[in-house]
Amino acid sequence: MVALDVARIEAGLILIEVDFDSVRRALIAEQSYSPFELGILGHFVDFEKQTEFVGRRALEEEQERGGPPRRLVGLELEWEPLEELYREQGLTPMVDSAPSRVPVPLYARRRQIGKATSTTWSPILKKVVALASVGANHSAPGTRIEVEWTVEARRSRTPATVVELPFFNPPRKTSSSAAR
């Protein structure tokens, strides 16, 4: 199960009640997510559909305003600053092999801008990666932000960079390529 959770994060796949809340569980507006905020789910919204569907007007208004106010993104944490946080405590750097599903605050210029929802060490990429929900103005690939990281009960911040999802997308064999 741990390996599947790591692979899920590397593939940029979201998990309900971890990376986003279902509408049934959302108590306030900030806990509700539109399909466009969740990345790939926005591809399933068909505005060309001639019939009405629940939420259509709200989604059209969101698109007219320039898109959702926050976005699901990938983060790559920088190893050297992370390593330094452990060194300052006299410890060898270590990252749990099991992914974390605990929300972690994200910052830009001392202001909280979102949260990392799923964080893991990627054995394939040899990096710490995270799925995160951030404000739209911090969602462009290459944007530098800070992730709260706790070592020995001391909270610190470590740099990360917004990257495109999925983190890892290997070439796949399909029936058409297998027939060749």
Residue 173 lies in a domain: no
Q: Residue 32: CB partners within 8 Å, gap ≥ 6? A: 21, 23, 26
Residue 115 lies in a domain: yes
Residue 148 lies in a domain: yes
Which among 136, 129, 122, 111 has a CA at the least distance from the CA of 165?
Answer: 129
- If one counts the domains in the chain, the total is 1
Give residue 50's pLDDT: 87
Q: Tens digit of pLDDT for each residue in 13-63?
A: 999 999 998 878 888 878 888 899 988 788 889 999 888 888 899 999 999
Residue 64: which CATH number? Answer: 3.30.1360.120
Residue 14 lies in a domain: yes
Q: Tens digit of pLDDT for each residue in 149-170?
A: 999 999 999 999 999 999 998 8
- Distance in angstroms between the alpha carbons of the first and the last residue of the chain: 35
- pTM greater than 0.85: yes
CA distances from 141 to 136, 137, 160, 165 (A): 11, 11, 11, 10
Average pLDDT of the chain to the nearest whole number: 91
Give residue 176's pLDDT: 61
Residue 180 lies in a domain: no
pLDDT of 171 over the 90 cut: no
Q: What is the mean pLDDT of residues 89-99?
A: 91
Residue 179 lies in a domain: no
Band of pLDDT at residue 2, cut at 50, 70 and 90 = very high
More confident residue, 74 or 22: 74
* Helix (H) or strand (E) run with residue 145 in it: strand 144-151
Residue 178 lies in a domain: no
Residue 116 lies in a domain: yes
Residue 84: domain span: 1-167
Please count the residues of the chain. Answer: 180
